[in-house]
Amino acid sequence: MDFGLSEEQQQLKTSARELLAAECPTPAVRRAMASDDGTLPELWREIAKLGWTGLIVPEKFGGAGLGMLDMAVLLEEQGYAAMPGPFLFSAAIATEAVVRGGSEEMKAKWLGVLAEGKAIGTVAIAETSDRIPTLAKDGRLSGSKVFAPYANLADFVVVSVRGEAGRSLALVDTHSSGVILNRLRHLDLTRRFGLVDFGAAAAEQLSGGESLHRRILDVGAVAIAADSLGGTQRALDMAVDYSKVREQFGKPIGSFQALKHAAAEIVADLEPARSLVWYAAHALDAMPKEAPRAAAMAKARLCEVYSRGTDRAVLMHGGIGFTWEHDIHLWFKRARFNESYLGSPAYYRERVAQLSAY
Amino acid sequence: MDLNFTPEEDEFRIKVRRFLEENIPKSGLGDGREGREDKAWLARAKEWQRKLYEAGYVAMAWPKEFGGQALEPVRQSIVNDEVVRAKAPYLIGGSGLGMLGPTLISWGTEEQKKRYLPKILTAEEIWCQGYSEPGSGSDLASLRTRAEIVGDEFVVNGQKVWTSGAQYSDMMFCLVRTDPEAPKHRGISYILIDMHSPGLTVRPLVQMTGDRGFNEVFFDNVRVPRKNLVGKLNEGWIVANATLFHERNMLGSASGSEQRFNRLRALAKSIQRNGHPLSEDPVFRQRLADLQIRVEAMRLHAMRQLTDQIRGRQPGIEAMINKLVGTELNHDLATAAMEAMGDDSMLARDEPSVVDKGYWPYEWMFSLGLVIGGGTSHIQKNIIAERGLKMPKSR
């Protein structure tokens, strides 16, 4: 019995923390926020060189062939740094879809360039209710999707579609004719979102149907949970550090019990939740039967903990925490996006209830 | 990450399960909640612990020379899980096993270990904890029970309160003031007192549950041999904290929460609301699922800490939250059950139509007591903030 990160995973976590502290401090995040495409190209090249973009790509396609727990470690640290860019959506979710459901031809086309960081994939799940994309028999896709992360940069989109056999996933090359990408102006500026109109573009069905569709949602849920874990830790660290230097009534505000209790409540939420993330990621790697429920639990809990934690952390900062100039709102807004993306905590709690048969 | 047990461990689990099925007293220990002064009940409780010990399932990690088996912590955790799963009676010697024993193993003299540890295991000696006083609750270090050294004895005068099990205990581990001039944390000593000593009186207190579970203990010139000092004279605070660490972990046990959740879920399935089981009500389902997730998080959190223990890693901030989160979770589980039961939740235990023999109302009250005992949630939060997050002390 061994529950937790291995020595290698612990090292990966430490080196990711150090790299992002140096290469992705908040001034860099703000640079990306102000840029057109919302990324840090130099950082992307660096992490690609380190093998992050190929982390879950099988070795025969040039990746590291590691699992979701390793991925969760990286995503936690990216959440800690509020790292901008398409990594979570491309290197975790879209890559997983191609690894699991792609044809040999599709894998050969995309996995190598994904691993090298030269291609970017995204995923499009949410839709405006009146325009559900349907995959026609001739392989043409019409309809549109909203909240496709980094659609502005994506070389391909993994789309959830309705076909004759129900829900499934298809892959659309964004360079093919018909696809229109529009940027959505969004409150979480550490990310970019687009609206994708497929306009009868050619789409390739991924194999695995409903169960692949489910798996990709589970992977997405765990990825978001891992990002939330790191983000909550960061909000806590920022609030605690501030409480040690800011003085009122002639003392550091951290000496007041009101602030101590707020901080301790974040810790009490965070530490057990950390185990939910590890377990859910491990279940995706090694316990397929357990994975859907574990993913639902992690998504529901971590997103709630992140939103509540950033609320408390903003409050602990007082007035300065409400300014644009202070960085805490980057995490505050990222938390809110994480909470709604792929389904709310209430949705995932209902899923837990269904999967537990009550 | 590897969540599998070894084949030997799986075999061991089956053995434990079978032992429990065959040996758990059919009707539990009988209702000992009415004050626990009944001699026959006490004898049955001691017999149960002894039986479990003789089977090799108690304090398995303790050193062999004191009656333990020096086994790795995973074996004990298997036993603990199975004990909860089988709804086995609780161990009467819990304070000795969970708090004093581990403290003595770290801080006791060889003579003390040899003298006390074996009898803790067999339930021959039952221990209680002499910490709180009427004027010293959260501010434990302000305690005033005085021990003066006269010859080779301590002479103890003063009073303790909230002493669980004092009415049937043989011994008490007790904090006393041995230097009234020193700053409050530096004049305290940790001593072991025979509960049968002349001058020692136990008076029961009635809890809000209506039971007599805890007590006041009065000391009137109680004589205690000097060799019963644990750690150094006036340096008892550090020993006291070692015990408190063990107590906090004991109070927030994850497998107990899991059993309570299963019971709550069964309750929600059995109650009809608007023509459907309450478990199908969308609002109550949200609440059940939220509790299930929190229970699962604590189950995994315990596995994480067990792994750290196996690997010999020092516990960090994650170990400080067990008491806070575990006890509040248990109270939330009971509160959800009370709401599910509606008006029935307020029926007294001796009302014939009471649900489930009054399990949930009792649990609802008792679990709030555990949010307080061993340091209230507020104190736990101070500890997490000051020791875990290094936020500045306010005092």
Residues 6+ positions from B348 with CB-CB distance below 8 Å: B354, B358
Predicted local distance difference test score (pLDDT) of residue B34:
47
Confidence class for position A128, pLDDT limits 50, 70, 90: low
Burial of B387 (0-12, 13-18, 19+ CB in 10 A): exposed
**Residue B247 annotated to the active site:** yes
CB contact under 8 A, A350 and B289: yes
Q: Which positions ≥6 away from B364 have C-beta within 8 Å?
A: B331, B334, B335, B337, B338, B345
Q: What is the DSSP string of A168-180?
A: EEEEEETTSTT-E
* Residue B33 reports pLDDT greater than 60: no
> pTM of the predicted model, to two decimals?
0.95
Residue in A252, A272, A356 closest to B292 by CB:
A356
Catalytic one of B125, B133, B247, B363: B247
Q: What is the mean pLDDT of residues B82-92?
A: 89
Q: Does residue B273 surpass a pLDDT of 50?
A: yes
Query: Tens digit of pLDDT for each residue in A164-204?
Result: 778 899 999 999 888 888 889 999 999 999 999 998 999 99
Taking the CB of residue B187, how many other CB atoms lie within 10 A of it? 20
CB-based contact (8 Å) between A284 and chain B?
Answer: no
Distance from CA of A273 to the nearest CA of B (A): 6
Interface probe for A, chosen from B270, B290, B323, B389 (most Cβ of A below 10 Å), is B389
pLDDT band, very low/low/confident/very high, at B284 (cuts 50, 70, 90): very high
Instruction: Please tell me the distance from the alpha carbon of residue B331 to that of residue B363, in angstroms, as a whole number.
Output: 8
Residue to substitute from A2, A233, A265, interface B, most B β-carbons within 10 A: A2
pLDDT digits (tens, 9 = 90+) for B214-270: 999 999 999 999 999 999 999 999 999 998 888 877 766 788 899 999 999 999 999
**pLDDT tens, B113-163?**
999 999 999 999 999 999 999 999 999 999 999 999 999 999 999 999 999
Mean pLDDT calculated for residue range B374-379? 94
Checking phi first, is residue A338 left (phi over 0); if not, alpha (psi -120 to 50) or beta?
Answer: alpha
pLDDT exceeds cutoff 70 at B308:
yes
* Residues in CB range of A114: below 8 A, 6 or more apart: A53, A54, A57, A90, A91, A94, A95, A98, A120, A121
Return the amino acid letter for A152: N
* Closest to A221 in 3D by CA, of A53, A136, A343, A124: A343
Output the average pLDDT for chain A. Answer: 95
Tell me which of A349, A350, A354 to substitute to probe the interface with B (most B C-beta atoms closer than 10 Å): A349
CB-CB neighbors (< 8 A) of B74 in chain A: 1
User: Which of A31-45, A314-328, B14-28, B140-154 is the least confident region?
Assistant: B14-28
| A205, A245, B69, B132, B389 from A248: Cα distances, Å | 61, 10, 55, 34, 20
The yes/no answer to whether this complex scores an ipTM above 0.85 is yes
The answer to whether the CB atoms of B300 and A263 lie below 8 A apart is no
Q: Which of B1, B308, B385 sits opposite A260 (nearest CB)?
A: B385
Q: Do B285 and A353 touch (CB under 8 A)?
A: yes
Judged against a pLDDT cut of 60, whether residue B373 lies above it is answered with yes
Provide the pLDDT confidence category of residue B395 given band limits of 50, 70 and 90: low
